[in-house]
């Protein structure tokens, strides 16, 4: 009661692309009266019976929905049973004083006396904990929980309890990250840890040879889990191995770069590279959990942090909020939650997930023209964001101030032909993610305009 379920519920539903059902409101419509009136006329016991009927029907709906339950519904054993066995249940946390302030003075039948209210809160607490799959304070927390993403400073130390299941666990890191965070991960995994494996540092991890070696090294049954601790290169290859070994095993990325925490480890895309190009082989394979510990960023070099800031600025522009100004843990939480929501709405990249490519069409073209030498991904994304904003008729100050990208020296013709080959081209027509008043849209622009925007990013 007073936690904010009816306020946050519609927001969560929108972020997840699911319908919202407010059980108390539905119940009132069905009863033809308000809950306080029903309580008054027929009593709590009769109300709970009506509530049970409605709640069970809603919780058994075949199509996914976001459902706000009445605060007392957990007292009914059959509802608790459904919440434990059938639904993903998030306990929206609120401290009892705030809950009382929000509830007192209204017409809620069980919020008339402060000490009774607090006693009720205590009695219900145990029942809430019994059914909750996750806990959260706001919409972002709930979206993250729905995506299986745990963001907490210090989460690495709790890795053992955060890897779902009971089976054996194998750990994969690159030697550098293994040297810094490997011991903490091993200790946290405890007796479930069956073996430790290495992948090369950086993009070299994403080769078919590395995937093949991991396939042959693994000794896991189908109840095993692969844990990848490291940057996006490590989590991409390990996710791909998890997607394919034994036709798909559970996996848990533990991203230790900013790119990994706000982007690569969220959303279920896994990939390896081919000589013909990056990420050409891969699978959608959603991790059973992603364990994001922003404290691991403390050991990350500045240039790697800058790589991540480019994705943070992109995310903030898409979300319409200056997320780049937030302190590390909150910045990671908000960015990861934004991406998680988009990916839950479009898990197989068939529609709106394309918005996450804001600026990336230009970035990839510049990187390809430079043959991935001499241009960092962050620089390229920063420049790509400039072009996307200019084509959208928007100011570019944020990108200039936070990322300060400088034009790069690459061959103009090569960059243009790389951009024309972009995978978002349909029937030969290039489509770009642009940022309009109503939000991001995929739009075709005349070649001359796009080419001029690309040329502006290239040093004379």
Ligand X SMILES: NC(=O)c1ccc[n+]([C@@H]2O[C@H](COP(=O)([O-])OP(=O)(O)OC[C@H]3O[C@@H](n4cnc5c(N)ncnc54)[C@H](O)[C@@H]3O)[C@@H](O)[C@H]2O)c1
Q: How far is the CB of 149 from ligand X (least distance, A)?
A: 13
Site string for ligand X, 280-299 (x = CB under 6 A): ----------------x--x
Contact pick of 103, 139, 256, 392 for ligand X (by CB under 6 A): 256
Task: With beta carbons less than 8 A apart as the criterion, state whether 90 and 133 touch.
Answer: yes
Phi, psi of 451 (to 5 degrees): -65, -40
* Window contacting ligand X (CB under 6 A); options: 209-217, 229-237, 346-354, 402-410: 229-237
Q: Is 201 in the site for ligand X (CB under 6 A)?
A: yes
**How many CB atoms neighbour CB 116 within 10 A?**
11
Nearer of residues 234 and 329 to ligand X, judged by Cβ: 234
* CB of residue 374 to ligand X, shortest distance in Å: 17
Q: What tokens were used for 100?
A: 């009382």
Binding to ligand X by residue 103, rule CB under 6 A? no
Minimum distance from CB of 279 to ligand X (Å)?
Answer: 6
Least Å from the CB of residue 372 to ligand X = 11
If we measure between CA atoms, which residue out of 295, 320, 317 comes closest to residue 401?
Answer: 317
CA geometry: angle 84, 17, 316, nearest 5 deg? 110
CA-closest candidate to residue 83, choices 94, 93, 70, 95 = 70
Could you tell me which stretch among 152-160, 259-267, 312-320, 430-438 binds ligand X (CB under 6 A)? 259-267
- Rounded to whole angstroms, what are the CA distances from 174 to 101, 253, 259, 298? 51, 13, 16, 17
Contact pick of 2, 267, 384, 440 for ligand X (by CB under 6 A): 267
Cα distance between residue 445 and residue 430, in whole Å: 7
Could you tell me the smallest distance in angstroms from the CB atom of residue 196 to ligand X?
A: 16
CA pair distance 454, 286, nearest whole angstrom: 35
From 236, 240, 310, 341, residue interacting with ligand X (rule: CB under 6 A): 236
Considering only residues 344-373, where is the footprint of ligand X by CB under 6 A? none
Q: How far is the CB of 360 from ligand X (least distance, A)?
A: 10
Q: Locate 34 and state its tokens.
A: 């308000």
Q: Does 50 bind ligand X (CB under 6 A)?
A: no
Q: What residues between 104 and 133 interact with ligand X by CB under 6 A?
A: none
What is the distance, to the nearest Å, from the Cα of residue 327 to the centroid of all Cα atoms in its chain?
A: 18
Sign of the CA dihedral running 297, 298, 300, 304: positive
Do β-strands 269-274 and 250-255 pair in parallel, antiparallel, or remain unpaired? unpaired
**The CA-based dihedral angle spanning residues 199, 205, 210, 211, taken in that order and rounded to the nearest 10 degrees:** 100
Q: Which of 148, 230, 316, 384 binds ligand X (CB under 6 A)?
A: 230
Q: Nearer Cβ to ligand X, position 265 or 383?
A: 265
Under the binding rule (CB under 6 A), the answer on residue 51 touching ligand X is: no
Instruction: Choose which of 2, 4, 70, 260 interacts with ligand X (CB under 6 A).
Output: 260
Q: Which of 28, 114, 203, 352 binds ligand X (CB under 6 A)?
A: 203
C-alpha dihedral (337, 338, 340, 341), degrees to nearest 10: 110
232 binds ligand X (CB under 6 A): yes
- One of 182, 231, 341, 440 touching ligand X (CB under 6 A): 231
Task: Report how far residue 404's alpha carbon sits from residue 412's, in angstroms, rounded to the nearest whole number.
Answer: 21
Distance of CA 262 to the CA centre of its chain: 8
Query: For residues 54 and 269, which CB has a smaller minimum distance to ligand X in the complex?
Result: 269
By the criterion CB under 6 A, which residues form the site for ligand X?
A: 174, 176-177, 180, 201-203, 206, 230-234, 236, 256-257, 259-260, 263-264, 267, 269, 278-279, 296, 299-300, 304, 307
């Amino acid at each position: 009661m007073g936690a904010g379920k009816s306020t946050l519920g519609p927001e969560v539903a929108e972020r997840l692309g699911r319908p919202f059902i407010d059980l108390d409101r539905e119940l009132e419509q069905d009863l033809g009266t308000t809950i306080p009136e029903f309580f008054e006329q027929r009593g709590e016991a009769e109300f709970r019976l009506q509530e049970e009927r409605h709640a069970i029907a809603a919780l058994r709906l075949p199509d996914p929905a976001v459902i706000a339950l009445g605060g007392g519904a957990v007292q009914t054993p059959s509802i608790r049973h459904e919440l434990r066995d059938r639904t993903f249940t998030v306990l929206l946390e609120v401290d009892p004083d705030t809950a009382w302030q929000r509830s007192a003075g209204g017409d809620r039948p069980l919020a008339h006396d402060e000490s009774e209210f607090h006693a009720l809160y205590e009695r219900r607490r145990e029942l809430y904990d019994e059914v909750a799959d996750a806990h959260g304070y706001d919409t972002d927390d709930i979206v993250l929980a729905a995506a299986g993403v745990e963001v907490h400073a210090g989460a690495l130390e709790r890795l053992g309890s955060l890897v779902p299941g009971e089976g054996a666990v194998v750990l994969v890191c690159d030697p550098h990250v293994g040297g810094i965070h490997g011991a903490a991960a091993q200790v946290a995994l405890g007796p479930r840890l069956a073996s430790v494996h290495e992948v090369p540092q950086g993009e070299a991890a994403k080769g078919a040879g590395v995937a093949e070696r991991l396939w042959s090294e693994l000794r896991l049954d189908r109840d095993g889990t692969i844990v990848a601790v490291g940057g996006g290169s490590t989590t991409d290859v390990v996710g791909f191995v998890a997607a394919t070994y034994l036709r798909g095993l559970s996996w848990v990325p533990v991203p230790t770069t900013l790119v990994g925490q706000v982007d690569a480890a969220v959303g279920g895309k896994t990939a390896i590279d081919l000589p013909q190009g990056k990420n050409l082989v891969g699978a959608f394979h959603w991790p059973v959990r992603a364990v994001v510990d922003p404290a691991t960023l403390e050991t990350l070099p500045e240039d790697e942090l800058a790589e991540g800031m480019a994705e943070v600025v992109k995310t903030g522009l898409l979300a319409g909020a200056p997320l780049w100004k937030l302190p590390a843990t909150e910045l990671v939480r908000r960015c990861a939650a934004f991406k998680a929501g988009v990916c839950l709405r479009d898990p197989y990249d068939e529609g709106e997930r394309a918005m996450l490519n804001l600026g990336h069409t230009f970035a990839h073209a510049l990187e390809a023209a430079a043959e991935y030498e001499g241009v960092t991904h962050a620089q390229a994304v920063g420049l790509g964001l400039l072009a996307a904003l200019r084509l959208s008729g928007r100011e570019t100050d944020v990108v200039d101030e936070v990322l300060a990208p400088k034009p790069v020296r690459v061959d103009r013709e090569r960059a243009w032909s790389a951009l024309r080959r972009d995978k978002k081209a349909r029937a030969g027509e290039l489509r770009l993610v642009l940022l309009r008043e109503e939000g991001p849209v995929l739009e075709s622009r005349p070649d001359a305009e796009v080419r001029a925007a690309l040329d502006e990013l290239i040093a004379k």
